[in-house]
Amino acid sequence: MFLKTSTRIKKLEAVLDRLKGQEIVQNRQLQALLSDDGYARYLDDCRMQKDVRETLQDKPAEVKEYEKRLKKAMFAHSKGDAASGRGQSQAGQKLLHNAQHQFERALEYLSEAIAQDPGLWMWFDRDLNSENITGTRLSPTNMPQVVTSRSYRNRDTGYKSIKRSIREIKIIAVENELDLLMDDGPAAVFKDEATVAARTNR
**Mean pLDDT, rounded, for 83-88:** 79
Where is mean pLDDT largest: 65-79, 86-100, 134-148?
65-79
CB 39 within 8 A of CB 26: no
CB 37 within 8 A of CB 19: no
Question: Distance between terminal CA atoms of the chain?
Answer: 12
CB 2 within 8 A of CB 197: yes
Q: How confident is the model at residue 82 (pLDDT cuts 50, 70, 90)?
A: confident
Q: How confident is the model at residue 197 (pLDDT cuts 50, 70, 90)?
A: very low
119-154 pLDDT, tens digit per residue, is: 898 888 887 776 556 555 677 888 888 888 766 665
Residue type, 52: V
Cβ neighbors of 159 (< 8 A, separation 6 or more) are 52, 55, 56, 122, 123, 147
**Mean pLDDT, rounded, for 2-27:** 88
B/e letters for 66-99, b = 16+ CB within 10 Å, e = fewer, are bbebbeebbebbebbbebbeeeeeeebeebbeeb
Q: What is the pLDDT of residue 54?
A: 80
Q: What is the pLDDT of residue 194?
A: 45
Q: Where are the domains positioned within the chain?
A: 5-56+164-200, 61-147
